[in-house]
Every structure is written in structure tokens, then in C-alpha cells.
Amino acid sequence: MNDTDAALVCFSGGQDSTTCLFWAKKRFERVEALCFTYGQKHVLEAGVARKIADRAQTPFHLMDISQLAHLSPNSLTDSSIEMDMEAPPGGYPNTFVPGRNLVFLTFAAILARSRQIFHLVTGVSEADFSGYPDCRDTFIRSLNVTLNLAMDEQFVIHTPLMNRDKCEVWRLADELGVFETVRTQTLTCYNGIPADGCGHCPACRLRREGLEKYLRLRPYKQNQV
């Protein structure tokens, strides 16, 4: 029988997935976290994710799919490639790892099915700067149908950040009571530096800009309550 009160979160230990983890814990009785190693340069990611999951008393799974790093050149897995600071005209920045979310969610569904979990949670967002094709709502909806057909199950993929920019992600973390956890314990930086990160890579700049915008709005919002 399907466990309608359980969810599996695709969890990297970054700002978005950590916010999603606590979002899920507010909504589901049983939550588990799945982290992937895929040959990413910042090897600290899995350790950060495990620590956050442990503190949140959430069962943690680690899956190695490092062969993904060898299938397509990108700056997140190949240290010889200098990271794009902006997307080239008409294309994607070389921080795009083709097929990553497709693979993550497919493996997540396989693991979830074995554990009688049929709700999957991922932190993808169309509002992010990059516009990666595997972060689009149309892709998620399509994959949801495909997974259900492939395994004859009724998975539901939840994307609580889909229409939120980084300022709104900070707001959600604050509403969930984990603002400081997200600010001080997560690893978003493409160069593998926790918390505020390197301050220069695209992920750090996006995170910082969202935080600064939210902190400007935060006192006003609190005064209106």
C-alpha cells in the first residue's frame, strides 16, 4: 500500500534543497533525504548534506552516480573548465550538467518505490537566473507522467520553489523557522565554500542578491504582522 504520508527529498545540502527538506517535514509524517555524488568538484557537499539531515533527524541516503561527470563537459565536474559567470547568448552557462535532474529524479523514484514512498520533493525553480531546461515546470510535469507510466505507480513530484526567486526562498526558510540554519549551515557555492561561500560564482551571487533583498524587506514585513 502506498504511504501517502511519506516523502523523499532530493537533497544536496544547499539553500534550496535544505529549504525543501524543512518544507517537506512540515507536510509529511515521514521524510527521507537522498543525496547524489556525481563527480562534482565540491566534494564537501555530501558531508554538509548528511550533517543537516542528521540534525533534522531525517534518514539520509547517499548515491554515487559519478559516471554522469564523464558524459558531458561542464564546469561543475571538470576543474579544467573555467566557470561561466553568465549564460552565453542563446545558450546555457557551462555550469549546466545535462540530464542531471532527469537522472536524480529517476533514481529517487526507484529508491522511493522500494521504500513505499510516492511523494518526491525537489528544489528546482524556473525563477533562477540560469533557465536550465531541466528546471522547467513542463519538464517536471512530463517526467512525473513518465515515471508513473514506467513503474505503474502514482508518484507526485513536488516543486515548492518552482515560482520563487531567491528572495522568496529566503522568505520561505524564515517562515519555516530555519533561516539561520540555511544561512550558516548550507553549501550553495560552486567552489565548495559553505555558508556565504566564495561570493563570486553565479550561485553565490544569486544567493547573496536574494538575501540582501529579503533583509531589506524583512523588517517591513514583520511590522505588518
Give the three-class secondary structure for 33.
strand
Q: Which residues pair with 33 in a beta bridge?
A: 9, 60
| Of 95, 102, 126, 77, residue with least CA distance to 205 | 95
Q: How far apart are CA 12 and CA 52, in angstroms?
A: 10
CA distances from residue 177 to 19, 183, 220 in whole angstroms, order as listed: 10, 12, 18
Instruction: Report the pLDDT value the prediction gives residue 220, as an integer from 0 to 100.
Output: 56
Query: Dihedral, CA atoms, 33, 36, 37, 39, nearest 10 degrees?
Result: -150
CA distances from residue 122 to 103, 105, 152 in whole angstroms, order as listed: 12, 8, 21
Q: How far apart are CA 216 and CA 25, in angstroms?
A: 28
Q: How far apart are CA 169 and CA 129, in angstroms?
A: 14
Amino acid at 155: F
Instruction: Report the pLDDT value the prediction gives residue 219, as an integer from 0 to 100.
Output: 67
192-202 pLDDT tens trace = 999 999 999 99
Q: Indicate the pTM of the whole model.
A: 0.92
Instruction: Report the pLDDT value the prediction gives residue 1, as an integer from 0 to 100.
Output: 39
What is the average pLDDT score of the chain?
A: 92
The C-alpha cell that represents 191 in the structure block? 567552489
Instruction: Report the pLDDT value the prediction gives residue 3, as an integer from 0 to 100.
Output: 58
DSSP 75-101: TTT-TTSPPPSSPPTTS--TT--TTHH
Amino acid at 84: D
Regions in the chain scoring below 70 on pLDDT? 1-3, 128-130, 219-225
Instruction: Report the pLDDT value the prediction gives residue 70, as an integer from 0 to 100.
Output: 86
- Is residue 124 a contact partner of residue 135, using CB atoms and an 8 Å limit? yes
